[in-house]
Each structure stands twice: as structure tokens, then as C-alpha cells.
Amino acid sequence: MSAAYRASSARPRIGVLALQGDVREHVHALDAADADAVPIRRAAELDDIDGIIIPGGESTTMSRLLGVFDLFEPLQEALADGLPAYGSCAGMILLATTILDTRPDARHLDALDVTVRRNAFGRQVESFETDLEFAGITDIDDADPMRAVFIRAPWVESVSPDVEVLARVPSGPAAGRIVAVRQGDVLATSFHPEVTGDRRVHEYFVTMVRR
């Protein structure tokens, strides 16, 4: 991790894994959240960032491309060394220690002690939106609920005692399912805050990086 970022008033330099998925949307959200966003495609680029976002996309494709670009082991080591990370949708899957309903050859980064079920909410046509309460965001100063967009999303089946549950689906067939978690400096959501214009999750992550 970069040693350059120290002052809490500075803009942290946050990488966005740029192999596949909704990279541009996260870059724009980070810029609006007062961070400098940079695309990450090479292992050497990990040395100059203060945190990283693993975006939504297709998790098995992303795991394969991490190997193609010789990024898998360096990223796994950086996370183990304490690099703050945020994963949305496919990013949540890649960060998990255990993945259900995935391909046998899929690899994961083991940075978040949770069991995740891939495509848990169903196919693309079953994508949906809902309002969520998000601990640390919507419970401050009577803030509005967070509009969450789920697109072929995972959910978290179980968490270790070290993992904090931040949000659950409030109603419907999936009521109570865990869709946002944090363990130390690793954050993950099943949904896509980068597509809604609500920057609060990115601001939350930027604050994590600053601290």
C-alpha cells in the first residue's frame, strides 16, 4: 500500500480494478466522494494506492482475468497486508472466503470471512430495486433510506463473528437476507450504489480509507 497518503484532509488515491465490469461508474462515484480514482490493471499499480474497489461484473470472468494479468496473487497479498477494499456485487463474491453456486475453477481472494451465494436473487430479468437501511449511513441524523439496485446479485448466507452486518433486504421473498457487510477495512455490498447517483456508500468507503 502507498505510504504517500497520511493526512485526513487529503484526497486518498483509490484504485478501481479495471479488468471487466462497471469501472467507469465507480470512478465517477469516487471523484464525487472526494477521492482520486485510478484504474488498476497491473500488479505494480497496487503499490501506489490507498484502497481498491472491485466492481460489479461477472465474477468467474473477473477471477480468470486476474490470473491472465498476473494480478490474483499480488492483490490477494495486498488485501492480506491491510489494503482497504470495497466490493460491489461480483466484487463481494471475489472478496469472500466461501462461494456457493459457482464454477469449480473459480478463485476468490479470501479477504472477507463470509459465505456468499452467487446469483442468489435469480436471473437478469429478476433484477429489482428496494429501499434499505444501512448501518453507519441511514441511521445518522434521520437520513433517507438507500435505494439499492440488485442485478443478478449475490447475498450473504452466513458471516463469522468478526463480520458486521450493515444491511438486509427489508421485505419480500428475500426479506432478512444480508446484502452489506464489513470486516475491518473490507466492505462489500450485493447491490450497485455506483448506478443510482447516491454517493453515500462511496463516501463511507473513502472515510474508511482515510482512517
Give catalytic status of residue 129 as yes or no. Answer: no
Mean pLDDT over residues 186-199, rounded?
95
Is 73 annotated in some ligand binding site? no
Is 58 annotated in some ligand binding site? yes
Q: What is the pLDDT of residue 151?
A: 87
Assess whether pLDDT exceeds 80 at residue 4: no
Exactly one of 25, 26, 108, 194 is catalytic; which is it?
194
Lowest mean pLDDT among 56-65, 80-89, 131-140, 194-203: 56-65
Residue 6 lies in a domain: no
Residue 2 lies in a domain: no
Is 118 annotated in some ligand binding site? yes
Give catalytic status of residue 26 as yes or no. Answer: no
pLDDT tens track for 85-125:
999 999 999 999 999 988 877 889 999 999 999 988 876 54
Residue 206 lies in a domain: yes
In the chain, the number of structural domains is 1
Q: Give the residue carrying C-alpha cell 450485493.
A: 190
Give catalytic status of residue 25 as yes or no. Answer: no
Give the pLDDT band of residue 128 (cuts 50, 70, 90): confident
Is 152 annotated in some ligand binding site? yes
- Report the CATH number that the domain containing residue 95 is assigned in CATH: 3.40.50.880
For residues 116-152, b (16+ Cβ closer than 10 Å) or e, as one string? bbbbbbeeeeeeeebebebebbbeeeeeeebebbbbb
Residue 8 lies in a domain: no
Assess whether pLDDT exceeds 50 at residue 6: no
User: What range does the domain containing 139 cover?
Assistant: 13-210
Exactly one of 25, 26, 108, 192 is catalytic; which is it?
192
Mean pLDDT (the chain, rounded): 91
Q: What is the pLDDT of residue 5?
A: 39
Residue 4 lies in a domain: no
Residue 195 lies in a domain: yes
Residue 144 lies in a domain: yes
Sign of CA dihedral 66, 187, 128, 174: positive
